[in-house]
Amino acid sequence: MSGDAQTAPGVSTPGQTIAPEPVVVSTTPPGDAGRSERGKSWLLWPSVVPLLLWMIVPLAMTIYFSFIHYSIFQEASFWPPNFVGFDNYLFLIGDPAFVTAIINTLLFIGIVLIISVVAGVLLAVLYDLDFFGHNVAMLFVIAPFFVMPPVSVLVWKNLLMDPVNGLFSIWTHNFNAVLGFLHLDALQIAPIDWFADYPLMSIIIIVAWEWIPFAFLILITSLKSLDQEQREASSIDGAGPISQFFYIVLPHLSRAITVVVMIETIFLLGVFAEIYATTKGGPGDATTTLTFLVYLLGLSQGNYGVASAGGILAVILANIVSFFLVRTLAKNLNR
């Protein structure tokens, strides 16, 4: 064998001396590294302390009010406090409006989630295709997300759902006119007074219209990351569009759907403007949710103690829902 023999690192041969590896000696005193990290942490306090105060002080005051008798229309004082224990909670739970508010809240959130997720998935699949005017059409889909809730409510209430001058009513009258011309009077339908006949469903339609763009943006972004080779391979194997949708697209969108459900649920628990600007919780308590019930007890009736108890119950409900949603999201992410 010609040439010099190769020697493995760290292996000595006769007559050869291995030079010791250089030793790196730290010039930083042992305690300086820890002090440096602690010094950096102090820089976070100017932003952390206001955030903690902004979160903790209102929560602490709400808990305080929930255990005292405090009403602006009765003899009660903020200090010294008149502690009543859990009487505010028991009064609220025993109120028939509380059970109705819980049911309305669950129905409202559940139906809005179903509408927004289903519509978001279908729109994401549609806009994943290339067609003429794709960008302009997408702009129209996401436009409702940038409209302020009070403005969207007024548009739906006055321009679309008004029983006399609303667009839906005008369409109904025109449809009935055509049926009358064709002598099909038996098929004519009466204009719908949406906020009187279907108050909760009317609010659900408005809020779902506001949140469909959010679901669409999350889902279309997730769908763009789908490997197209899977679709091509399934097409070669004879899978049609419906099979690809149920066995490829939907499993791929499962994580994104979980994120949409989690975020929307947290925000839907606090919906207020849409209810206040349309029905104010009525007729009766048909559209009174837990959030709106807290408003009615606090600002309308002046019973801040019971309203605070309702606020704490709403926080507990939101945390329970968030806990299960986060666990579901974690399971999807660990797949």
16 within domain boundaries: no
Mean pLDDT, residues 20-27:
54
CB-based burial of residue 24 (10 Å sphere; 0-12 exposed, 13-18 middle, 19+ buried)?
Answer: exposed
CA distances from residue 60 to 66, 299, 311, 331 in whole angstroms, order as listed? 10, 19, 12, 33
| Secondary structure, 3-state, 65-81 | HHCECCECCCCCCCCCC
30 within domain boundaries: no
Mean pLDDT, residues 27-41:
59
Say which DSSP state 283 is in: S
Q: Tens of pLDDT along 161-172? A: 998 888 999 999
5 within domain boundaries: no
Amino acid, single-letter form, for residue 226: L
CA distance 318 to 90: 20
Q: How many domains is the chain partitioned into structurally?
A: 1
188 within domain boundaries: yes
Provide the 3-class DSSP secondary structure of residue 300. Answer: helix
Q: pLDDT category, 29, cuts 50, 70, 90?
A: low
Give the domain range for residue 323: 98-300+318-333
Read off the CATH number of the domain in which 284 is found: 1.10.3720.10
211 within domain boundaries: yes
For residues 88 and 106, the answer to whether their CB atoms sit within 8 Å is no
Q: Tens of pLDDT along 289-321? A: 988 988 887 777 778 888 888 889 888 888 887
Tell me the backbone φ, ψ of residue 28, rounded to 5 degrees.
-85, 125
Tell me the backbone φ, ψ of residue 227, rounded to 5 degrees.
-70, 120
Q: pLDDT category, 2, cuts 50, 70, 90?
A: very low
pLDDT for the residue numbered 54? 86
3 within domain boundaries: no
69 within domain boundaries: no
9 within domain boundaries: no
pLDDT for the residue numbered 85? 85
